[in-house]
Amino acid sequence: MIDVYYNLKNEPYVFASDLHKLLKIGTPLSKWFPRMIEYGFTENVDFFSDDKYVDSANNIKKAVFDWAVTIDMAKNIAMIQRTATGKAIRDYLLNLDKKVTEGEYLNHAQIMALFDICKVMGYFSVQKFFENEHYEKVFKSPGFNWWQERASLFGYSAKELQEALRELGIKYSNQKQAIFKLEKYDLIRIGVVDLFLSMGKSKAYAKNVGNIAKTIAKEIKPDIYNDIGTSLDFKSNDQKLIITDLKKYKTDSVILNKFKNVGEQKKLELNTDKNTIL
């Protein structure tokens, strides 16, 4: 319905000109938007002056002055119009908020980050690391049953795996190996879910991102390899750098910072500033 963009801090915004066009406002943008500002919005908080690049002659992009509007301000402007179109835009942006919060909608930077994650999540050692991190985060919860939790998260119980592989006549020595023989890219989905739950994301968010990661894995076909206890390390330098970065998920992982919400990023910036001072 309306194009959503992201700034360098991964915050979503829309352009005022797009809102103006969709709402079918008769007043010129240069007069209409300043009137909207008068409803109590603040420059450099709710909106920012920005250039929008549009197609001109010979398919050359031309910079045109515009305003970048935060999603909250856009929702309010849409409702101010009191039209069916305005309500539809607000509902669309509200639904977008929910999809972002629950990991159903990822921006381009996050999708690219997931590609990097998928490149290394096929290694059993990486999967095990984040499984242990997830376990450490939740094991003290009252009445907590780790195996029931995992069965509900991933749809696999030990008994169901055993029965499925028995029917296929496949032998296995552990649950991870069993899933590998049943549907190997599900191991990447499971590893990604453990990773995002370790980060403190909701189950809905972790499961949705895990499903997206599995889809990516099916396309790029990363190695699925049990490297636990092996003497040879076949990982490339790029993979090693990615793994090192992911393991810094509690502090300053470049890859995973793309998935932090605005509040988490500000907290991280404060901690970084504090560490710099010290």
Chain mean pLDDT for the chain: 84
For helices 186-198 and 146-154, give the axis angle rounded to 10 degrees. 120
Sign of CA dihedral 184, 177, 253, 260: positive
Residue 21 has pLDDT above 90, yes or no: yes
Q: What pLDDT does 273 receive?
A: 36
Residue 18 has pLDDT above 60, yes or no: yes
Question: Residue 52: enclosing H or E segment and its boundaries?
Answer: strand 47-55
Q: Which residue has 């996050």 as its token pair?
A: 110
pLDDT band at 164 (very low <50, low <70, confident <90, very high): low
pLDDT band at 179 (very low <50, low <70, confident <90, very high): low
User: Looking at residues 212-216, what average pLDDT do you find?
Assistant: 95
Q: What is the pTM of this model?
A: 0.73
Q: Which residue has 């390899």 as its token pair?
A: 225
Q: What pLDDT does 168 receive?
A: 52
Q: Output b/e per residue, 25-64; b: 16+ Cβ within 10 A.
A: beeebeebbeebbeeebeeeebbeebebeeeeeeeeeeee
- What DSSP line would sit under 55-104, residue for residue? E-GGG-EEEEEEEEEEHHHHHHHHHHT-SHHHHHHHHHHHHHHHHHHTTS
User: Looking at residues 267-274, what average pLDDT do you find?
Assistant: 39
- Range of weakest confidence among 22-31, 48-57, 75-84, 229-238: 48-57
Q: What pLDDT does 1 receive?
A: 82
- Range of weakest confidence among 123-127, 135-139, 249-253: 135-139
Q: Are strands 5-6 and 47-55 parallel, antiparallel or unpaired?
A: unpaired
**Tell me: the pLDDT tens digits for 226-265?**
888 888 888 999 999 999 999 999 988 999 999 986 555 4
User: Looking at residues 16-41, what average pLDDT do you find?
Assistant: 94
**Tell me: the pLDDT tens digits for 90-111?**
999 989 888 888 899 888 889 9
Q: What pLDDT does 275 receive?
A: 34
**CA pair distance 155, 203, nearest whole angstrom:** 13
Helix (H, G, I), strand (E, B) or coil at 49: strand
**Tell me: the pLDDT tens digits for 61-88?**
888 999 999 999 999 999 998 899 999 9
pLDDT band at 171 (very low <50, low <70, confident <90, very high): low
232 alpha-carbon distance from chain centroid: 33
